[in-house]
Amino acid sequence: MSINAARMGYVSDGQAVAEAAGARQRGSNLATAKQTEAPTSNTGRYEQSSTLSTVLVMQNGQIKEIPVKKGVGTAAHIDALTITMPELVFNQSLDAVTDDEVAGHISGTIYEIMGYGLSSVARGRNGYSMSYLMGTERVSYGYVAFGGSQQRETVCIHFTGTGLMAAQDGWEHRLYQFLQDFAPNARITRCDLAHDFIEGEYTPEQALKDWESGLFTSRYTKPVAECVGSDWLSGTNRGKTLYIGSRKSSKYCRIYEKGKEQGDEQSKWVRFELELKNKDIIIPHDILINPGQYLTGAYPICEQLFKNHKEQIARIELKKSRKQ
């Protein structure tokens, strides 16, 4: 099936990583994250939400640049995002009849928000009969899926961390405004929030102590914790990861040695990552423009870790149980 109408924003393999990383210059300090010029905004009227930087790591004796996002004036950036909304949001005039035409409408909207659109057709997924990819065969920016009687005429849009890095600056505010104006009932079904401790200011070992002290207990029940990685016992310099919560739960936290994951045995870089899924919680639309508020309010320890950002504390709302 041809999707010529949906090819807005197509990028070649060679462009993908460069677009995500922006214009970069090499530095000499492997442990230092350096600011780079952010992509130009589509509209120029939205404030800057995040900046694109790089962290330098040593991999197999060679310097490797890893692109990272950092929130502007906030403690977190969004590292993955999934949204579902009615298909009619993209076809309000009902002029799109074929799947290709619907994909063209969706692609044009995503292009206006993110700076890229759909690139190729793929198989159906997650119960949807159709899906289209964003990015390239080598670098995934995410996918769009729709069609299928079981999905109640909805569209699922998923952005990977790479896709969010490649998006033009201000996408958070543009997407938030789009949802307010055209899709107020859209559901954010997954949102990952992240904060990077480039110099190892917080570590998996300290996180384990904080979990033991109850600083990851946000309501009444202490979440489970799991230590993963040979470094916990053997000192292999391959990295430690502490998981807090269950993979099946609405809130799942990872504190891991990101630099060592990238192959640098001496790196101090640690990432604090919170994965939110809308199983028994409602993920609000304003998490797009206030991610740091929700990361700060996720656990008691986060209020301590991010106090210098002076965030207003926001907490995720539980879904109300239906009375039988």
The pLDDT tens digits of the residues spanning 272-321 come to 999 999 999 999 999 999 999 999 999 999 999 999 988 889 999 888 76
Average pLDDT, the chain: 83
Per-residue confidence band for 98, with pLDDT thresholds at 50, 70 and 90:
confident
Taking residues 168-195, report their average pLDDT: 96
Using CA atoms of 69, 279, 314, 306 in order, give the dihedral in degrees to the nearest 10.
-40
| Residues 194-201, mean pLDDT to the nearest whole number | 96
Mean pLDDT, residues 23-35 taken together: 25
User: Is 2 among the domain residues?
Assistant: no
Q: How many CB atoms lie within 10 A of CB 100?
A: 17
User: Given a cut of 90, is residue 193 above it in pLDDT?
Assistant: yes
Using CA atoms, how far residue 307 sits from 187, 212, 268, 297, 302, in Å, is: 30, 21, 22, 11, 8
294 assigned to some structural domain: yes
More confident residue, 101 or 30: 101
Whether the per-residue pLDDT at 184 is higher than 80: the answer is yes
- Select the highest-mean-pLDDT range: 46-60, 61-75, 147-161, 180-194: 180-194
Check residue 323 and give its pLDDT.
44
66 near 267, Cβ under 8 Å?
no
Please report which confidence band the pLDDT of residue 115 belongs to, taking 50, 70 and 90 as the band edges.
Answer: very high
Q: What is the dihedral of CA 83, 86, 90, 93, to 10 degrees?
A: -170
Nearest of 144, 176, 143, 156 to residue 46 by alpha carbon: 176
Q: How confident is the model at residue 255 (pLDDT cuts 50, 70, 90)?
A: very high
- Examine residue 236 and state whether it is found in any structural domain, yes or no: yes
Contact 157, 82 (CB under 8 A): yes
- Please determine, for residue 12, whether its predicted confidence score (pLDDT) is greater than 60: no
* pLDDT band at residue 33 using 50, 70 and 90 as cut-offs: very low
For residue 311, give its domain range.
Answer: 194-318
Residue 284, C-beta contacts closer than 8 angstroms, at least 6 positions apart: 188, 316, 317
Contact 146, 154 (CB under 8 A): yes
Does residue 235 sit within a domain? yes
The answer on pLDDT for 21 being more than 60 is: no
Q: Average pLDDT of 79-102?
A: 88
- Answer yes or no: is pLDDT of 18 > 70: no
pLDDT at 39 over 70: no
- What is the model's pLDDT at position 220? 78
Residue 238 within any structural domain of the chain: yes
pLDDT at 66: 78
Counting the structural domains of the chain, the total is 1
Q: Is residue 230 in some structural domain? A: yes
The reply to whether 91 falls in a domain is no
Q: What is the pLDDT of residues 121-160, one digit of tens each?
A: 999 898 999 999 999 878 999 999 999 877 888 999 999 9
Rounded to an integer, the average pLDDT of 268-275 is: 97
Question: Does 264 fall in a domain?
Answer: yes
